[in-house]
Amino acid sequence: MAKIYYLSTCNTCMRIIDELNLPDNFQLQDIKNEAITTNQIEEMRALTESYESLFSKRARLYKELNLKNKSLFEEDYKNYILEHYTFLKRPVILFKNQIFIGNSKKVVEAAKKAIHV
């Protein structure tokens, strides 16, 4: 498994993809053009501790829907991510049964090390 869920209109995602210097076997999925499926989100969830860890609280819709002031449960996080791509913390990199979520330097460096061992 070598896949990246990203947004082609996101400069940060594109910079990280360039920086990773990916091997040819990587599959890229632009989540705006190809929605995440239930199977895909469940596959991601199996590699991390929660749906919440995949959820972006920085999304504009998070503020617009006032989700900060609501009690959200795991199923809610999953459903919001499936409902609208903006709720997935990006990029999500799947590589050899490992998952790297988000764009922090630490996460990107860990992904680089795993990919180029």
Mean pLDDT of 77-104: 97
The whole-number pLDDT of residue 21 equals: 93
The tokens for 84 are 């609208």
Mean of per-residue pLDDT scores for the chain: 96
Q: 19-60 pLDDT, tens per residue?
A: 999 999 999 999 999 999 999 999 999 999 999 999 999 999
Render the burial of 68-100: b for 16+ CB within 10 Å, e for the rest: eeeebeeeebbbbbbeebbbbbbbbbbbeeebb
Which residue in 117, 37, 107, 22 sits closest to 3, CA to CA?
22
Q: What is the pTM of this model?
A: 0.94
